[in-house]
Amino acid sequence: MIKKRNIAAIATLLMMLLATVPVEAAISKNFDLNDNFYTVYGGPDIEATLLGDNEYSRGDTFTLNLGLMNKGVISGFESEKEADTTVDTVLQRSEMGYETQAVTAVGVLATLKSDSPYISVKSGSQEAGTLEQGKQSVIPSKFVIEISENAPAGTYPLNLEFSYKYQNNVQVSGDNYDTSTGLVSNQGVGIWYENVTQNQTIIVQVKKEPYFEVTNVTGDLYPGKNGNLQVTYKNTGEEPAKDATVRLSASDPFSTTDDQAFLGNLKPGESAVAIFDMDVDDTATSKPYSLTSEVLYKDTEGHNQISDSVKINTKILEAKKSLPGYQIGIGIAMVLAACFVVLRKKKQD
């Protein structure tokens, strides 16, 4: 809302020329900042519209597109000074032309913030330029959003902040009326801009859906050996999963001909064990490894879905040491000799 200012504040007016008004706006030496014909009520009002869906899955990273529009209006004018002379009449009409631009937002900057630890805004502030009354931004403001894999389903409000300048007041002056043109040739124009901050809430929804986590891994895996890997999957989401099947991605030093396991129907909170027949390369190093898997299932509407990647942390154990062949032979001979001695002693008794 545009108010009348005192002389000290008006001394900070930003002086500029606006070619859109059909007068020659040259600064006069006799420019009088106390001359003010109108007070204008109203100003810009920036509103963002979410373009596209606002519902996403936990673990998603996506771009939020926001279209901006200036819905500002001028709600009224108040006359501050009557036009007593021809010069005043011309200046009054000129000031009115400038005052109508009070609803233009200049240098719009949009900033999106999240107060939730589960939602991260990865993009900085986005420039939207100048928005005139009733105009939309040519290019949407884009913000990259990351949802934590641990985010509970539900509604997450994001704070969208707009900062811009708007024309708070206009004053014109001049004293040389040109009868041939009907204009004041030495007209001066003073325009006062103020900084404004607006806030709007943007809602992001995290879907209710099955979500799978590995809660336990067991298996005796040795270099050059074949072994079973038993993996427990738990549905930690909010919706059931029907006909769930795990698909394992085996990479070096692992290989398998059995990369799928059926889990069945899993309600929220339920678990099932998948067993994979694994082969380990004989040159494998004994250390921890990470495998990836994904769960294929049907949702509550019967649609086929694929989960995000689910990690399986396992390890290859130290290879079991075996005795050399000659040591085995000696061991067997000693056992046989001991048996012979025992049998002979029994016969003697």
Domains and CATH numbers, the chain: 7-206 (2.60.40.10), 212-315 (2.60.40.10)
Three-state secondary-structure class, residue 82: coil
> Does the pLDDT at position 15 exceed 50?
no
In this prediction, residue 176 has a pLDDT band, given cuts at 50, 70 and 90, of: low
Closest of 156, 32, 12, 155 to residue 87, by C-alpha: 32
User: What are the structure tokens assigned to 107, written together?
Assistant: 């240098």
Rounded CA gap, 103 and 251, in Å? 62
| pLDDT above 60 for 23 | no
Confidence of residue 16 (pLDDT cuts 50, 70, 90): very low
Q: Whole-angstrom Cα distance, residue 265 to residue 242?
A: 4
**Between residues 319 and 186, which one has the greater pLDDT?**
319
Distance of CA 217 to the CA centre of its chain: 33
Compute the C-alpha angle 339/340/343, nearest 5°.
85
Q: Tens digit of pLDDT for each residue in 29-87?
A: 433 445 665 567 778 999 999 999 899 999 899 999 999 999 988 776 655 555 545 55
At 42 the pLDDT is 76
Task: Give the pLDDT of residue 4.
Answer: 36
Q: pLDDT, tens digit, for every residue of 232-258?
A: 999 999 999 999 999 999 989 999 988
Confidence bin at 142 (pLDDT 50/70/90)? very high
State the pLDDT confidence band at 349, using cuts at 50, 70 and 90: low
The confidence score (pLDDT) of residue 181 equals 58
Residue 2's closest CA among 290, 281, 196?
A: 196
Lowest model confidence (mean pLDDT) among 11-25, 99-113, 234-248, 261-275: 11-25
Distance CA 59, CA 305 (A): 15
* Distance in angstroms (rounded) separating the CA atoms of residues 148 and 60: 8
Token pair recorded at residue 325: 């062949």
Residue 237 parent element (H or E): none
Q: Say yes or no to pLDDT of 326 above 80.
A: no
CA distance 274 to 339: 48
Query: Residue 332: helix, strand or coil by DSSP?
Result: helix
CA–CA dist 52, 54 (Å, integer): 7
Structure tokens at 91: 């200046």
Calculate the alpha carbon distances from 132 to 55, 105, 325 in Å: 31, 6, 91
Q: What is the pLDDT of residue 196?
A: 92
Residue 96 has pLDDT above 70, yes or no: no
Longest Cα–Cα distance in the chain: 152
What pLDDT, on a 0 to 100 scale, did the predictor assign at position 280?
95
Query: Does the pTM exceed 0.85?
Result: no
Q: What is the pLDDT of residues 182-229, one digit of tens each?
A: 565 666 666 778 899 999 999 999 999 999 999 999 998 999 999 999
Rounded Cα distance, 264 and 242, in Å: 6
Q: How far apart are CA 72 and CA 70, in angstroms?
A: 6
Short-list 249, 259, 240, CA closest to 297: 240
Pairing of strands 126-131, 38-43: unpaired
